[in-house]
Amino acid sequence: MKAMMMSLVGRMASARCVLANSLRNWRHTRQTLREINALGAQEAGRVLTEVGLSPREFERSMVLPFASEDLLQEAMHTFDIDPDEFCARYPGWFQDMERTCMKCPHRGACRRIVARGRFAEWHRGVCPNAEDFAQIASPAVTCG
Percent helix, strand and coil across the chain, each rounded to 5?
75, 0, 25
**What average pLDDT score do residues 24-48 get?**
78
In this predicted structure, the answer to whether residue 13 has a pLDDT above a threshold of 70 is no
**What average pLDDT score do residues 68-94 get?**
89
Report, in angstroms and rounded to the nearest whole number, the Rg of the chain calculated over CA atoms.
18
Percent of the chain with pLDDT over 90: 17
In this predicted structure, the answer to whether residue 1 has a pLDDT above a threshold of 60 is yes
Q: What pTM did the predictor assign? A: 0.62
**What pLDDT sits at residue 5?**
53
What is the Cα–Cα distance from 80 to 54, expressed in whole angstroms?
Answer: 31
